[in-house]
Amino acid sequence: MLTLRDVPPPTRRPAVRPRGRRPFRDNPLQILAVIGLLAAALGLALTFASGSWRYSPDFLTEFVLYALSVADLTMILALVFVLARNIIKMMVERRRGLPFARFRSKLVGALLGMTLVPAVLVLLVGSELIRSNVDRWFNAPMEEIVASANRMASDYYSERQLLTSGTAARLSRALAALPFPEVDPVAVRDVIQPEVAQQRVSMVEVYRVARARTGAPVVSSVVDVAVPSLPREYNRASADRLAERVAAGSREAHGPEPLGNGGQLLRAAEPIRARDGTLAGVVVASDFLTSEMAARSRQMTDAYEAYNQLKVLKNPLLGVYLSFFLMVTLMILVSATWMGLYLAARITRPVQRLAAAARAIGAGHFDQRLEPETSDEFGSLMEAFNTMASELSVSRQNLERSARTLERQHQEVEARRRYIQTILDRITTGVISLDADDRVSTVNTAAARLLGLEGDQEGRPVGELLGRPDLEPLAKLIAVARPGDADKPAQEVSLAREGRELDLAVATATLHGQGGAIEGRLIVFDDITPLIRAQKVAAWREVARRLAHEIKNPLTPIQLCAERLARHFQGAPPATRELVTECTRTIVGEVESLKGLVDEFSQFARMPAPRRIPTALPPLLADTLGLYVGLFRDVTIETRFPADLPPVRIDPEQIRRVVINLVDNAIEAMDRRGRVVVEVQHAPAERLVHLIVADNGPGIPEGEREKLFLPYYSTKRRGSGLGLAIVRRIVAEHGGTIEVTANVPRGTRFTIDLPA
Amino acid sequence: MIRRALLAVLAAAVLGACSAPPLRVYALSGAGGGDEGLRVTALAKDGQLLVSFSLADGLTRELRQAIDSGLPATITYVVELRRPAALWFDGTVASATVTATVRFDNLTRQHQLSRTIDGRGEEPRVTEDEEEVRRWLTEFDRLPLFSTAQLEPNMVYYVKVRAHARPRLSGGLFFWPWGRGGKTGFAPRFTYLGDDRG
């Protein structure tokens, strides 16, 4: 049973709050910082997306698309993680039956539904819109326009290149007539000057080709002629490389050379072959394109290329846009999901904390406190809870103090009760306590033993408890003495229990409670049987002494007078003499008989105290029983002595008298025909020696057995009735007891218990 | 506990996604395997391991369109000389990176061609011939990429070539760009017997 002592001592508990540093969800600054970071990331992404068309394809396909995809994947996993974690958590909470688990599940479900459904719809519709918009970028008219423009610029370029190449070829054929390689530069100039003068080309450069030792062609400039209007920013090395490539046999004989002012030189080179077909020189003709013309051509081509590049990059760009859109959607979804869970937690968590704290208080932790996380109604609720917990704690402390006092008092009472109980259990006085309804409260050991009560008697009516016939005198006495009566002196009550007379001195007392109210009664009784018995014996001894004194004194004169009468009438007539003789003989005989009787009474009255010495009981008994050998023909005396019987401290003469008395009684009871068993038993555990004398005579009725030991009680025709009284007295003065029971199968059995 | 498990799953998924391409390549490694379009042969001669490879379908329609739009197109070949291992991943003895780039000028209608081997450039070329452009990008004959001094006699080797083109234009799921890897080819395994006996 749980008692106040079992409750653990109160320990001061800190207010219920998350351990460690403040969690993210309860830190507004951190939340704001994260929101700011997300907004910045979103702005950055928007800026990036708006300029995505400017980025190189490699950057788009090798970095941007991967980065966005990783971001999308991460956010999808984060979303799945957040959802799965919270769904599992809510399922566990619902299974455990935690408070508000169902409410929280419904709240989170509603918030997620309100977020997920629109977000997915926006994602689907938005993706389709992006696709259709990107498709619209590429339409047939625009493609034709930019393609035509590029074709025009390219054709113009090609045409000018062809003209330059034609001029270079014509000059090559004309210069082939000159003696290369040792050609006169003036002659060369004369050939090329008209072409330049007529502005068919802007510049002509002529090279001679010699052979090195390795056979490789070596190109060196012979002469160059340019129109005066040609800008001087052109690079001669460019023409030299072109000439070297042609001299080396390359077919790449033309190409543009950009100039610093934005213009271009369209160069064309032709080999000059001698009459034998050997390479003698190289002529490089260059046509100058003004910067305006070159720029316009390039613009048209750039527009065409930009359009086509956009077309080529359509899929990567579409992927970037869709991934970006997906990223934004996921960002919103993750944020909204987290916000939904956060709101649900903000609503249900304080209530859950309250419930947990209430459970803790219910379990006895009265120092449980809650730290208000907010200053709203939930905060006020927690303050009120803390106040209630404080008051409960104070009440609990007062209660515990009172309990400790009560416990101490209880212990004192209990100790006193045990003390009284011990006394009651040990004393020989019987005590029965009754409550106000005369029902038994307690029965001590002595009372149970004296009245022969067995088992638990608590609660029984006293009338029922004392309802047995042998307890009827006591029941009458209790019935007469009502609760509240003035306490009376003890009254003697004699009970006949198990064939024995039990004398009790019974007193009743009223139990008063506080204010004098009657709470019950006490029945106290003492076994005064030995006292009564001793009083009886003492009375008989006094009677015996007086009888011996008062009767014995006149007996001798009576006897002497009778003898004188007999002698006096010796001479009288025969008839008189016979009469006198007969009368005096009778008188003398009776006087002798009276003397014997008086002697016995005298012995009973003056019996000396036993002189106890260690005595071997079997030899003593054998010697005593030897007196009966041959006296009674039809009586068998059987002895049963143990071999290891220790010596017993007894007065041998008095015990011998006891045995003779018992055996005489047995023989007389059997009418001098039967068997007498004299047995000695040793009981080391009880430190007793049992001396048993049993016969198979007619036995003694149960009601007569206790009277046997009273003086002057005899069942024999002759006898003083003091034999067994003397026996009991001798045994009692040896510290023992004597008991008479029925022998099995018949007869009487006297058992004497002597201290071993 | 649940939080840790989910975090572990998240981390594993991200790691797996990021490492998907190299894992795929490792799965294909081994002599005689690889993509059909990339054929590789190796020949040891004059102290050099001459590697020839051709990418049959290297000039795809998308790459052709990119070139025509004026975008510079590059095919990068990562050539690895490898030694097979029985119980572990094959070891790479040496590697070289070969790039071939083409840029088309829509104004002059000329292709500018250039190649590099381990960053060293060759003389650029200009051509108007598209077939030459295709050969320039996809056919490489007897490139002296490795020295036979790196080889141990009587040991088995093979050459692995991974090719990928830029820009990468083929589509896939818009949020899953990892499905567009390059091609891998392997030269047959050979046993290097010693100097000039390849």
Residue A395 has pLDDT above 80, yes or no: yes
B7 touches chain A (CB under 8 A): yes
Inter-chain residue contact B6 with A323, CB threshold 8 Å: no
Nearest chain A Cα distance for residue B131, angstroms: 16
Q: Is B167 on the interface with A (CB under 8 A)?
A: yes
Residue A268: name the closest of A191, A188, A203 by CA. Answer: A203
Q: Which chain B residue shows the shortest CA-CA distance from A299?
A: B107
For chain A, the C-alpha Rg in angstroms (whole number) is 73
Task: Answer yes or no: do B177 and A157 touch at CB < 8 A.
Answer: no
Comparison of pLDDT for A274 and B156, the residue scoring more: B156
Cβ of residue A227 closer than 8 Å to a chain B Cβ:
no
pLDDT in tens, A496-509: 776 667 888 998 88
Asked if B12 has any chain A CB less than 8 Å from its own CB, the reply is no
pLDDT at B141 over 90: yes
Q: With 60 as the cut, is the pLDDT of residue B25 above it? A: no
For domain A427-527, give the CATH number.
3.30.450.20
* Nearest CB neighbour to A309, from listed B62, B70, B127: B70
Kindly tell me the burial class for residue A588, based on how many C-beta atoms sit within 10 Å of its own C-beta (0-12, 13-18, 19 or more): middle
Smallest CA–CA distance from A309 into chain B, residue: B69
Query: Residues of A with CB below 8 A from B171's CB?
Result: 315, 319
B65 and chain A in contact, CB less than 8 A: yes
Report CA dihedral (B63, B67, B72, B76) to the nearest 10 degrees.
30
The minimum CA-CA distance between A6 and chain B, rounded to whole Å, is: 35
pLDDT at residue B20, as a whole number: 38
Q: What's residue B51's pLDDT?
A: 93
Q: What distance in Å separates residue A301's CA from the closest CA in chain B?
A: 6
Tell me the two tokens of residue B157: 């080797």
Per-residue buried b or exposed e for A265-301, using 16+ beta carbons within 10 Å of the residue's own CB:
bbbbbbbbbeeeeebbbbbbbbbbbebebbeebbebb
Segment A628-685, tens digit of pLDDT: 888 888 999 999 999 888 899 999 988 998 999 899 989 988 888 899 999 999 998 8
Is it the case that residue B172 has pLDDT exceeding 90?
no
Chain B contact for A586, CB < 8 A? Answer: no
Q: What pLDDT was estimated at residue B177? A: 60
Contact across the interface for A70 and B17, Cβ inside 8 Å: yes
Please list the residues that pair with A271 across neighbouring strands: A282
Q: Picking from A534-538, B179-183, B192-196, which range would have the lowest pLDDT averaged per residue?
A: B179-183
Residue A65 contacts B, CB cutoff 8 Å: yes
* Amino acid at position A301, single letter: T
**Residue B71 forms contact with A (CB below 8 Å):** yes
Instruction: Give yes or no for B25 touching A (CB within 8 A).
Output: no
Mean pLDDT, residues A69-95: 84
Given the DSSP bridges, would you call strands A613-615 and A648-650 parallel, antiparallel or unpaired?
antiparallel
> Is residue B31 pLDDT above 70, yes or no?
no
List all residues of chain A from 256 to 295 with a beta carbon under 8 Å from chain B. 256
Tell me whether strands B155-166 and B183-186 are parallel, antiparallel or unpaired. Answer: antiparallel
Which of A76, A77, A157, A302 should we substitute to test contact with B (largest number of B Cβ atoms within 10 Å)? A77
Helix (H) or strand (E) holding A282: strand A279-289
pLDDT at A18 over 50: no
Cβ–Cβ gap A78/B10 under 8 Å: yes
Q: Is it the case that residue A2 has pLDDT exceeding 70?
A: no
- Which has the minimum average pLDDT: A168-172, A489-493, B48-52, B179-183? B179-183
Residue B179 confidence class, pLDDT cut points 50, 70, 90: low
**Nearest-neighbour CA in chain B from A379: distance (Å):** 29
Find how far residue A70's CA is from the centre of its chain: 47
Beta-strand relationship, A635-640 and A674-683: parallel
Interface probe for A, chosen from B1, B15, B175, B176 (most Cβ of A below 10 Å), is: B175
Burial label, A40 (beta-carbon count in 10 A; 0-12, 13-18, 19+): exposed
Contacts with B126 from chain A: Cβ below 8 Å:
252, 255
Of A72, A161, A301, the CB nearest to B106: A301
pLDDT for residue B171: 53
Which CATH superfamily does the domain covering A159-294 fall into? PAS domain (3.30.450.20)
CA-based nearest residue to A506, from A529, A531, A478: A478
| Any A CB within 8 A of B68 CB | yes
Q: Distance between CA A650 and CA A418 in Å, rounded?
A: 41
Answer whether A74 sits within 8 Å of B168, measured CB to CB. Answer: no
**Cβ-contact A416, A385 below 8 angstroms:** no
Interface test with A, best of B75, B164, B174 (most A CBs within 10 A): B174
* Interchain pair A312, B3: CB under 8 A: no
A153 to chain B, any CB pair closer than 8 A? The answer is: yes
Strand partners, B59: none
A305 touches chain B (CB under 8 A): yes
Residue of B nearest to A74 (CA): B14
Instruction: Summarize pLDDT for A254-292 with one digit per residue, the tens.
Output: 878 888 777 888 889 999 988 888 888 999 999 988 888
- pLDDT, position A662: 92
Which of B2, B71, B108 is the closest to A57 by Cβ? B71
Residue A111, pLDDT score = 79
Residue among B65, B107, B167 minimizing CB distance to A154: B107
A72-81, A223-232, A476-485, A611-620: which has the minimum mean pLDDT? A476-485
| Nearest CA distance, B51 vs chain A (angstrom) | 27
Q: Picking from A171-175, A600-604, A749-753, B6-10, which range would have the lowest pLDDT averaged per residue?
A: B6-10
> Would an 8 Å CB–CB cutoff place B70 in contact with chain A?
yes
Decide: A491 and A505 in contact? Cβ < 8 Å: yes
User: What per-residue confidence (pLDDT) applies to B195?
Assistant: 65
Directed axis angle between helix A185-197 and helix A140-175, to 10°?
A: 150
Cβ pair B169:A313 closer than 8 A:
yes
Residue-level pLDDT at B54 = 92
pLDDT at residue B14 greater than cutoff 80: no
pLDDT at A456: 86
CA A454 to chain centre: 45
- Give the pairing type, strands A279-289 and A613-615: unpaired
- Tell me which residue in A69, A70, A308 faces B69 most closely, judged by beta carbons: A308
Q: CB-based contact (8 Å) between A57 and chain B?
A: yes
Kindly report the nearest CA distance between residue B151 and chain A, in angstroms: 35
Question: Closest Cα of chain B to A310: distance in Å?
Answer: 9
A674 and A680 Cβ atoms separated by less than 8 Å: no
Q: Does A73 touch chain B (CB under 8 A)?
A: yes
- Its CATH class, for the domain covering A613-755, is alpha beta
A255 touches chain B (CB under 8 A): yes
Residue A472: phi and psi, rounded to 5, are -60, -40
Nearest CB neighbour to B106, from listed A69, A305, A322: A305
What is the average pLDDT value for chain A, to the nearest integer? Answer: 83
Number of other CB atoms surrounding residue A623 within 10 Å: 11
Percent over 90 (pLDDT), chain A = 12
CA distance, residue A111 to nearest chain B CA (Å):
22
3-state secondary structure A381-402: HHHHHHHHHHHHHHHHHHHHHH
Q: Which of chain B's residues have a Cβ under 8 Å away from the Cβ of A23? A: none
First to last CA, chain A: 50
CA A669 to chain centre: 80
Closest Cα of chain B to A192: distance in Å?
27
pLDDT on residue B74? 92
A57 vs B3: CB contact, 8 Å cut-off?
A: no
- Facing residue for B71 by CB, picked from A161, A312, A322: A312
- The three-point CA angle A383-A387-A392 to 5° equals 145
Tell me whether B174 touches chain A (CB under 8 Å).
yes
Q: Say if the Cβ atoms of A70 and B18 lie within 8 Å.
A: yes
pLDDT at A178 > cutoff 70: yes
